[in-house]
Amino acid sequence: MRVFVTGGTGHSGSYIIPELIAAGHEVTGLARSDTAAAALSALGAKVRRGDLHDLDGLKEAAADSDGVIHVAHRQDLLASGGIDAVATAELPIMFAYGEALAGTGKPLVAAGSIGSPGQHLGRPVTEEDPALPSGDEYKGTLRVRNVVETAVVGLAERGVRSSVVRIANIAHSTTDRAGFLVQLIALAKEKGFVGYPGDGANLWNAVHARDVASLFRLALEKGPAGKYWHAVGDGAIPFREIAEAIGSRLGLPVVSVPADVLMVPGYFGFLANIVTQSYPASNLVTRRTLGWEPAQPSLLADLDNGHYFSAG
């Protein structure tokens, strides 16, 4: 299969491309710079120069492929417009793919958020829970992006084998340089202790980036249209256990942070609204339907491996 991939040099993308190539697929990655082009070539992919601004170029690349994997975002918009601007820019990209792939039955697999169905369901989020509307009354992670997920899944009605891979809150690996764990570790070093919110019983989910890659491949190869898939290895880890694992490696005390000092300029700062949430999630439908089985180290095992603490 000839696969067009965006975001191929990012954390997830740099695992997705080798996964696809190892399975016999021919991969072309989108590159907006010489550096990105060199990185894609090093991964074994062909290079298509361009960027996410060029909707005509994206339509042409999608039409020339047998399938599309989209894991790129307009990160350049974060500073000026936040995640709202990123989501707004992504919608026309999905519609462009829809125009190129309509009626073909070709796959489009896009990255989503495990928090898109919202929180406080009283049970783990499942693949059958739809993305909620993006209004402020819904408190899902990156809820302004829910409209993007809904648009992708909706393309199934236009003859696109579209699906969304909801990636766990924490995607970990030996090459993670800027993810949530990296931020937590840097925060602990700065503060001199590892904090967790309240009693730390709120549940988080995680997945290894290599397992994310294998799920994207399976969704591309055989995923039915109009579905959500859950890239979740660990479905319910108490936040306190994550803090304790970090504290053990850093040799720092692990301390409960009360609600009145969580927010800016408290311990967690801008992360406060995220770390206080509970995100239990199931992967049962994904495993049963696609035959996906997480095979890489769990979050706590990966922290115990020490590579997150090897620098400085």
Let me know the angle formed at the C-alpha of 226 by 2 and 299, rounded to the nearest 5 degrees. Answer: 80
Per-residue pLDDT band for 217 (boundaries 50, 70, 90) equals very high
Is the confidence at residue 138, as pLDDT, over 60? no
* pLDDT at residue 81, rounded to an integer: 72
* pLDDT at residue 114, rounded to an integer: 87
Question: Is 289 within the bounds of a domain?
Answer: no
Q: For the segment 99-124, what is each residue's pLDDT rounded down to a tens digit?
A: 999 999 999 999 998 877 766 778 99
* pLDDT at residue 248, rounded to an integer: 97
**pLDDT > 70: percent of the chain:** 93
pTM of the model: 0.94
Residue 3: closest CA among 19, 39, 224, 289: 19
Is the confidence at residue 242, as pLDDT, over 70? yes
Q: For the segment 284-307, what is each residue's pLDDT rounded down to a tens digit?
A: 999 999 999 999 999 999 999 999
Question: Is 186 within the bounds of a domain?
Answer: yes
Q: For the segment 152-168, what is each residue's pLDDT rounded down to a tens digit?
A: 999 999 999 999 999 99
Q: Are residues 105 and 248 in the same domain?
A: no
Is the confidence at residue 216, as pLDDT, over 90? yes
Q: Are residues 261 and 229 in the same domain?
A: no
Q: Are residues 97 and 226 in the same domain?
A: yes
Q: Are residues 109 and 192 in the same domain?
A: no
Is the confidence at residue 140, as pLDDT, over 90? no
Q: Which amino acid is at 213?
A: A
Question: Is 285 within the bounds of a domain?
Answer: no
Is the confidence at residue 251, as pLDDT, over 80? yes
Q: For the segment 166-179, what is each residue's pLDDT rounded down to a tens digit?
A: 999 999 999 999 99
Q: Are residues 224 and 255 in the same domain?
A: no
Is the confidence at residue 263, as pLDDT, over 70? no
Domain that holds residue 194: 178-205+236-280+297-309
Q: Are residues 255 and 159 in the same domain?
A: no
State the CATH number of the domain containing residue 76: 3.40.50.720
Q: Are residues 154 and 138 in the same domain?
A: yes
* pLDDT at residue 143, rounded to an integer: 57
